[in-house]
Structures are given as structure tokens and as C-alpha cells.
Structure 1
Amino acid sequence: MNELINRINSSASLDELDKIRVELFGKKGLITSEFAKLKSIPADEKKAFADELNKRRDVFNEAILAKKTELDFIELKARMKAESIDVTLFDESRDIGALHPVMSTMDNIIEYFLAQNFSIETGPLIEDDFHNFEALNLPKYHPARDMQDTFYINDKRLLRTHTSPVQIRTMENSKPPIRMICPGAVFRRDMDLTHTPMFHQVEGLVVDDGNGVSFANLKHILEDFLRYMFGDVKVRFRPSFFPFTEPSTEVDISCIFCKGKGCRVCSHTGWLEVLGSGEVDPNVFKHVGYKNVSGYAFGLGVERFAMLLYGVPDLRSLFEGDLRLLEQFK
């Protein structure tokens, strides 16, 4: 018995321990064979024999269980050591996320104007005709409404076609001075290489009492902003038409791809159109009850900026969710 206990205690593996268990309790095991002898033992000796045999069986079972627990723990420690990971080691995971290029571009635009003490204002995506058109000097049947293909919900409600209604709502609820930008999504019925039904704009508005806000102020801040976004570029202002500003200008920068020499991207003109701007039309101020004020406004398409900054040729690819494109911006 002592020899078997020693063998159990010195077992080096679970397999070795299991072989000893079979030797003892298998069909032909030592303990099994001893219990088989009970059939032939005289009745008066059977109880004493069985009691002694049960004690031996319990001793072996306890020894095997204790050794099995010990070997299980050793095996678990070895497996954990083999599978352990040093979490302090540097690992440049390939699954790192990144901001979408449109959102990254918008963040950069917002950061600039926050640094210039502009506030950020927001408004509803579903607008009424007054705030989206009439208050912006676009009365019903005005031909300039055709410039914006609109999603109408009903006769009175529509998806906003620009973020300019936020400017109107801000002026309705505030008094000058106002210095604000309104970033957000807008909607138009258009779809091609450079247009999508939903896109993002950032529009700005500065208003103050009297004649303190001039075109020179607008020119200065836009030139500084465009060089902040695109680097050392030339900036030019071209006369244009917007119903809500007068005078109105389109703003161009020298082509960032050919440095103004002329290429396919700039249609060999050396210039890229990037935003629209102008002094706020007096009729807009009348709609919000402002008197004796001056101001300027500007607006830009965030996707347009993103396409130029990141060299994306097709605007639609920014909305398709193709990981092959998005992974390039990690």
C-alpha cells in the first residue's frame, strides 16, 4: 500500500496518475479484485474484510484526488505562461480608427474660426420657406431659387438647402455684435462627380452697429483663413451674384496642385474656386428687424475643401464607406 501511495505522490503527469488509477480501480484493478473476493469470504469475516477494504479504497482515492488537483494547477500555470501577453509591449495595431476626411476638414475649419472669436451656432435640418428663402432675399417665384434644387416635405416644410437659415435665426434672437459660424449638413437634389444630395457647409456671419464692418474686413479674414487651410496660396475675389449679399464675390485660390501654372484640376486656369462671400444685403437685415447695421457673410462646402486637401477626385467616394479609401486617412 505504501508503495502505491508513493507512486501516486511521485506522479509527474496526469497521464501517469491515470494509469495508477486504472491499476487500482479498473475492471482488473487491485481494489476491484479485492472487492470480488467478498463472494467467497465466510459471512462472519465479510464485514471486517469490507471495512478494511473501504478504508484502503478511500486512502487511495484521497491521494489520487490530491495529486490530480496539484497536477491540474501545475498544468494551468504552464498553459497561462505559454499564452501570456506582455501588455506593455508596443504594438502598432492595423485596426486603428481615424476621423473621416470630411469631419477632419470641418474640425480644422471650426478650430480656425474659434481662434478668431467666432461662436458656433446650429439650427434645424427641416426648415420653413421663410427662413430658408424669403428672409434671405429670395421671395416666392424668385428665379434664383432655381439655383438650389430643393427637397420639399410639403408646401411649408423643406430640407434646408444651406446653413444660412441659422444666420437668420441667430439674428432674430440676438442683437449686434454677432460673430458666428454655422457648420452642418444641407440637402439638394443633385448627384454627380462634384455634388451629392447631402453635403456639409460652414457659413459665417459678422454683424455690428453702424458701418464698422466693411468688405476690407471680409477680405482680410478670408485671405488669412485660406492660407491657414491651404498654405502659401494666392487669393482673388471675383464679382458674382448671391441674393443675400451685395456686393457678392466668388473667392479663388491659386491651384495647389500646379502652383498656378495650369493643370487638369484647375481646367488650366491656375485658379480653384473655393467659397462665396459678400456684404449682407440690406433686405436681409429688414427681415430680422435690424437697422443701422453692417455685416458680411461667407459660405463654403466642406467636401470641396476635403477633396482639394486630400486629392479625392470623386465627391461620391467620400460617402460610399469604402474602407480602402478611408484606411488611407489613419
Structure 2
Amino acid sequence: MEALLQQIENYKKEITVYEAADAEATEAFRIKYLGTKGIVKAIMGEMKNVPNDQKKQFGQLLNDFKLFTEEKYEALKLSTTGGAQTAAKEIDWSLPGDSFPVGTRHPLTIVRNEIVSIFKRLGFAVAEGPEIEDDWHNFGAMNLPEDHPARDMQDTFYINQNPAWLLRTHTSSVQARVMEKQKPPIRVICPGRVYRNETISARAHCFFHQVEGLYIDENVSFADLKQTLYFFVQEMFGKDVKVRFRPSYFPFTEPSAEMDISCLICGGDGCNVCKHTGWVEILGSGMVHPKVLENFNIDANKYTGFAFGMGVERICQLKYRVNDLRLYSQNDVRFLKQFTSAV
């Protein structure tokens, strides 16, 4: 064992006087002493030859030798990186840096935020609700009982039956939850994702985004609805866009109307997008049905209101001339990069 002790002392002397001029010399030190085939590992392997009654003493000595060598290596590393630090100080920080790609919001997010901003200027608050809904909030509260034929207009993704839970088919369910908790006056818009069991194509998808609006107060009229929507269309598409209302049917409004604008792609002359009519439907609207008000204990003799709902994808399609709804959800960077300047 005396020979092993003498060997350790000799290596310590070598390590003490070892100097490294550069990083390569430091790496050579590491390989020689601390590498997988280095001196420290070789000496540690001698423990098997140490008598059992001396293992504790020699174990401590060998561990001290390993720590001594590692400290020397760290000191060498510190001394040989001084040149790199000096070089870093000589960098000309006034030079322009490397450019980074600029990201952007998704086009649907851009349009949704713009819609919300327009209606906020009219005093509408924003309300949100769950995407998984019960049958009452999605259908029953909106004047669609179980046997109502209007349910056939919406193919629904049901999650559970008895009780019925489903992926909401419209954000009218958010309006229902607002009317449960708040009494008139009510003025909210309800943006969010909705789901319907439809065949995916360039014109339809199994999920899309809506912004619905609800205004309930005393003496609210259809004229208020029209002026509100006129303001929205002009703010979104410009002052020159033409607007028309067509009678329609929705179970939760009466009377009901669909709103069209002049086609922005052909200027009203007729094209494939507007089916050569010069008009494009953008939303449905109407006066809130008295039955809906009664479902939430709102006095239909005292209060009236209007509601409207639009698809964000359709608004985005017209605003940015998008010809395929599937582009919104394909995450194609070539498509998304086109909206960088729109943020």
C-alpha cells in the first residue's frame, strides 16, 4: 500500500505544476487524469487490492485525490477561457443584430378581435361560456323543444344521452347563461367556437367560430337592430358597402331576418362566391322571441330585445378574399404568413 500512496503523491506534484496555455491543453489534462481511461479512474480501481481493514482510510485518500484533480481542471478551464472573454469584449455592439421572423395572429383571431372591438364601442360587453353544453341551454331555452323541426337544421355532436350533453351548435347558449344570471338591461356579444356534424369542404367545416349578440331593454325596436348592424358593416367593410335584409325564420327570434352585403369580390356584378347574385349573406338576426324572455323570467310586456349571429369564417373570407374554409385549420405557414402585416 505504501507504493500506492507514493504514486498518488507523485501524481499530485505533477498536477500542481501542470499549466495549460489554451483550451486544447486543458482538454488534454482532462483526458489524462479524469477520462474514462485516465489516471484517477485507474487508481480508484486499486481499491480492490486494499485490505478490508484499510479500505475506509484509503477510500478517503482516493476521494481527496479525485477532488484535488477536479479542482485543478476547473481552474485550468477558467484560466484558458479568459481569451474568449477578452474577445467578447471586443465585439462591436453597434452592428445590427440578426433578424428574427415576425409572427402574427391567426386571421380568425384578427377578425374576431376586430368584431369585438366594433361592438365594444357600442357598449356591448363580452360573454363566454362552455363548449360542452346541456340540452336546455343549447336548445330548450332558445325555444327549441325536443320535437321542434328546427332541430333538424343543426346536425349535433352528442356526447351523452339522458341527460343530453353535446358540443354546442351556436353561442346562443352563452346568451341563455347570461339571461339566467343577469336581468335587463343586457347588452353582450358572445364569441366562441361551435360544432356541427357537417361534411368538410371549401364552404363548410365541422367546427367554426361565431359571434352572437344580444340586447334587451325597454323600448328596443327592429330599427335599433338595423342601425346597430349598419354601423358594424360599415366599420368592418367600409362606407361603400350595400346592405339588405331578407325575411327569414329562427325559432328564437320573431320577426327574423338575414342580412346580406354587396359582394366585395365582384363589386355586386356577380361571381362564383355570391352565386352570381351580387349579394352575400353574412348573418342572421331578429327580435328576441317572447317565449325566450319568459324562459328566464323576463317580463316580455316590459322588455324587448334583438339578437344576431355571424360566422367569423365568413366575415374573414370576405375581408381577406379567402376561397377555402379549410385553410383556416390546416396550419399552412404559407397561408398564415400573408397576415403578418394585419396584426
| Same fold flag (TM > 0.5) | yes
2:204 alignment partner, one of 195, 200, 210: 195
Q: Which of 248, 255, 272 is 1:247 aligned to?
A: 255
Residue by residue over 1:9-55, the C-alpha shift from the partner in whole angstroms, topping out at 9 and shown as x without a partner, is: xxxx97xxxxxxxxxxxxxxxxxxxxxxxxxxxxxxxxxxxxxxxxx
Q: Which moved more, 1:258-267 or 1:160-169?
A: 258-267
What is residue 101 of structure 1 aligned with on the other side?
Answer: 107
Q: Find the structure with the greater CA-based Rg.
A: 1
* 1:297 paired residue number: 307
Matched letter for residue 223 of structure 1: Y
Label 1:89 to 1:122 Cα distance change in 2 as closer, same or farther (>3 A).
Answer: same
Q: Determine helix, strand or coil for the equivalent of 1:237.
A: strand
Compute the displacement of 1:76 (Å). 2.7
Counterpart CA distance in 2 for 1:310 and 1:86 is 41
Residue 230 of structure 1: which of 221, 226, 237 is its match? Answer: 237
Rounded Cα–Cα distance in structure 1 between residues aligned with 2:334 and 2:119:
32
Shift of 1:89: 2.8
Does residue 206 in structure 1 map to residue 212 in structure 2?
A: no
Structure 1 residue identity aligned to 2:263: C
For 1:80 and 1:90, the matched residues in 2 are separated by 15
Output one character per residue of 1:252-291: Cα deviation in whole Å (capped at 9) or x when no partner. 0011112112122211111111000000111111111111
The yes-or-no answer on 1:183 pairing with 2:191 is: yes
**Structure 1 residue ranges, 4+ long, deviating more than 6 angstroms after superposition:** none
The structure-2 alpha-carbon separation of the partners of 1:77 and 1:233, relative to structure 1 and needing over 3 Å to count, comes to same
Counterpart of 2:129 in structure 1 is: 123
Structure 1: distance between partners of 2:233 and 2:166: 32
- The answer on whether the counterparts of 2:265 and 2:321 sit within 8 Å (CA) in structure 1 is no
Q: TM-score, normalised by structure 1?
A: 0.74
Q: Which amino acid aligns with 2:203?
A: T
After TM superposition, list the pairs within 5 Å mapping 1:69-148 onto structure 2: 75-76=83-84, 79-80=87-88, 84=91, 86=93, 89=96, 92-93=99-100, 95-148=101-154
Q: State the match for 1:167 in structure 2.
A: 175
Mapped partners of 1:154, 1:76: distance in 2: 65
Q: Which runs of 5+ in 2 are unaligned?
A: 1-20, 23-75
C-alpha distance in structure 2 between counterparts of 1:316 and 1:123, whole Å: 25
Rounded to whole Å, the distance in 1 between the matches of 2:303 and 2:102 is: 50
Mean CA deviation greater in 262-271 or 244-253:
262-271
Which ranges in structure 1 are unaligned for 5 or more consecutive residues?
1-12, 15-67
Change (3 A) 1:77 1:172: closer
Measured at CA, do residues 87 and 295 of structure 1 come closer, stay the same or move farther in structure 2, by a change above 3 Å?
A: farther
Quick check: 1:280 aligned with 2:288? yes
- TM-score calculated relative to the size of structure 2: 0.72
In structure 2, distance between residues paired with 1:100 and 1:213 = 36
Distance 2:114 2:94 in 1: 34
The answer to whether structure 1 residue 306 and structure 2 residue 313 are counterparts is no
C-alpha deviations, 1:120-155, integer Å up to 9, x for none?
A: 111111111111111111111211101111000112
Q: Which residue of 1 aligns with 2:222?
A: 215
What SS does the aligned partner of 1:228 have?
A: helix
Residue 257 of structure 1 corresponds to 265
Which amino acid in the other structure matches residue 125 of structure 2?
S
CA RMSD of superposed structures (Å): 2.4
Asked if the contact 2:128/2:191 (under 8 Å) is kept, the reply is yes
Correspondences of 1:145-160 after superposition (within 5 Å):
145-155=151-161, 156-160=164-168
One-letter amino acid of the structure 2 residue matched with residue 327 of structure 1: K
Secondary structure, aligned partner of 1:153: strand
Aligned length: 263
